[in-house]
Amino acid sequence: MFREKVIKKIPSLLALYVSLLMTQSASAGALSFDEVLRKAYQANPDLQVSQLQVKVADAEASQLEGVLDTRYRGSLGFSDEISPAVNPFSSSQTRTSFISGSIEQPFSGGSTLTGTLNYNSAKLTYPSTVPATFQANPNPIYKHQIDLIYRYPLASGAGNANYHAQLDARAQELKAAKLRVGMLKEQVANQAIALYFQLILNDLSLELANDGVVRAKQLLAYQEQRESFGLIEAADRFQAEALLAMRKLQQVQSRAARDAAQTNLNRLMFQDGGVPLQPKLVPIKIKRTSMEKMLLQSEQNRPVFEVLKAQYAAAESRLKGVEDTDKYQLDLVGQVGSRALGGSAGNAFAQGFTLDDRYVGLRLEFSDVWNHSSSRALIQKSILQLENIKLERNKARENIKTDLATASVLLRSGKVTLQASRKQVLAEKKKFDAEVVRYREGRSTTAVVTQFEGDLRVAELRALIQQVSLDQTKYQLALTLGVLPRVLGAK
């Protein structure tokens, strides 16, 4: 009988939802939300770029440490100069050989120690008319000089403030770069939630559409049987045929929507859009508390606040560095060195390592910039950067407050709406069942039965949407609170 067949094909909302999820969980190709995230993270190019930026920031931090590397240089040369004589006793040719080098060691406190070595020889050639007594003696002459120079900054550069400020800033920027990976993962997770639940919803909608086609076919078969006995007119059969055509159209539309959702989720995981997907939803439990507590939890767990905190610390360090460069330059410079001069290469070289002949000096060097326009502009820029980060933090906080408020309202009202939707489904089923009985007894029309069947389907679909929306809101709230990986049991 039509009534019995139709009633058997009308599942309750909860039975359909639970049975579909159980079927998905048992299937070999079932896809959990964790697996979606894992695949999306592995192939997402933005995440790959962000992870590369972490390595770049790490390299920049290492580069800054090279400021304290020891610097050294050296030169070796020979020259031969022939020039016009300015007086009758001047040399006409000078041949010079030299070797020089220096080592400079900066210290983390801002001071610098420099060692220099210069060793050269000069041979003078005189015209034949110059008597030997007027020629330089000894010839050639060898000169050896070693100096140690210690420079200690008293104002700008004291304590190497700029270096330490830049070092701290780079460390904070490296931390921020690492945390930005987490922010991008949150963005991917947000997209995944929307696409994953859309696929679940379309799966359920397709199930209902398929069920509607079955019911419409059974109604048409029942009408054709009654028409064959002359109990109804052809117009009644036409109504059943129209209902079947409409249900088939809805089935085609549901299948197309399901295919589109599957393609979108596949592309999020950067795989072929036609790969079959069967979602396996794992319901989660999320506890709502007061807005203040949830906001505090978000600030503790969400990477955006840690990123802004690191950026603020980096901007503060850079401001300290710029303020140091705005000071005048006052350096205390001490120098001690040896001096050696002789006609023998070996003697001059050896005496250069003694202080028999030496140089000792102590001086103050001062320098400054008029108006300090450049440094003060940099200070103003750094201050504005700090203010901008504060505003960004307030903006992030307000956005999260909005998300928390929205999710809380949806959860609170969603549960009430779901209960009401389920009651409506039960009421529509009773109404439809009763009308089928009336139709068998000849006290109703095909149009009314068709309308009531449509009312039942709309109620079922509305309840399904409400159930999926409620589960999706729980996932979204967990993401907003920064606890989604924990509630999912992700590693």
Same structural domain for residues 339 and 214? no
Mention every residue, 6+ apart, whose C-beta is less than 8 A from residue 250. 209, 212
Is residue 84 classed exposed, middle or buried when 0-12, 13-18 and 19+ CB atoms within 10 A define those classes? Answer: exposed
DSSP one-letter code for 86: S
Same structural domain for residues 180 and 150? no
Return the ∠ at Cα 153 (arms to 150 and 154), rounded to 5°: 130
Task: Give me the residue label for tokens 């010079």.
Answer: 96
In a domain, 276, yes or no: yes
Beta bridge partners of 142: 121, 342
Q: Are 14 and 460 in contact (CB under 8 A)?
A: no
Beta bridge partners of 148: 115, 336
Mention every residue, 6+ apart, whose C-beta is less than 8 A from residue 341. 141, 142, 143, 144, 348, 357
Beta bridge partners of 120: 98, 143
Alpha helix (H) residue ranges in 161-233 = 161-228
**Rounded CA gap, 277 and 255, in Å?**
13
* Dihedral sign of CA atoms 407, 40, 252, 464 in order: negative
Return the ∠ at Cα 206 (arms to 201 and 207), rounded to 5°: 100
Same structural domain for residues 181 and 283? yes
CB atoms within 10 A of CB 349: 14
DSSP one-letter code for 328: P
In a domain, 379, yes or no: no
**Rounded CA gap, 389 and 319, in Å?**
14
Same structural domain for residues 134 and 267? no
In a domain, 378, yes or no: no
Same structural domain for residues 298 and 420? yes
CB atoms within 10 A of CB 234: 10
**Rounded CA gap, 299 and 173, in Å?**
19
Same structural domain for residues 178 and 273? yes
In single-letter form, the type of residue at position 198 comes to Q
Structure tokens at 189: 């997770």
Same structural domain for residues 282 and 342? no
Same structural domain for residues 181 and 292? yes
Same structural domain for residues 346 and 481? no
In a domain, 51, yes or no: yes
Same structural domain for residues 295 and 403? yes
Ranges of beta strands (E only) in 319-393 are 329-342, 358-367
Pairing of strands 278-279, 30-31: parallel
In a domain, 279, yes or no: yes
In a domain, 29, yes or no: yes
**Rounded CA gap, 121 and 142, in Å?**
4
Q: Is the pTM of this model over 0.85?
A: no
Same structural domain for residues 255 and 292? yes
- The CATH number of the domain holding residue 480 is 1.20.1600.10
Structural domain boundaries, residue 347: 75-106+111-156+329-367
In a domain, 372, yes or no: no
- Give, for all 491 residues of the chain, the pLDDT tens digit: 444 444 444 444 444 444 444 444 444 458 889 999 999 999 888 888 888 888 888 887 777 878 888 999 999 999 888 877 667 777 777 889 999 999 999 998 899 999 999 999 988 887 777 777 777 778 888 999 999 999 999 998 888 888 889 889 988 988 998 999 999 999 999 999 999 999 998 998 898 889 888 888 988 888 888 888 887 888 888 888 998 999 999 999 999 999 999 999 999 999 999 999 999 888 888 877 889 999 999 999 999 999 999 999 999 999 998 888 888 889 999 999 999 888 788 888 888 888 888 899 999 999 888 888 888 898 899 999 999 999 999 999 999 999 999 999 988 898 899 899 999 999 999 998 998 888 888 788 777 877 888 788 888 888 888 888 899 999 999 999 999 988 887 53
Q: Are 474 and 488 in contact (CB under 8 A)?
A: no
**Rounded CA gap, 94 and 141, in Å?**
11
How many residues appear in the chain?
491
Beta bridge partners of 118: 100, 145
Structure tokens at 30: 């079932």
Provide the terminal-to-terminal Cα distance of the chain, rounded to the nearest Å: 55
Number of independent structural domains in the chain: 2
Same structural domain for residues 187 and 299? yes
In a domain, 288, yes or no: yes
Structure tokens at 314: 């980096």
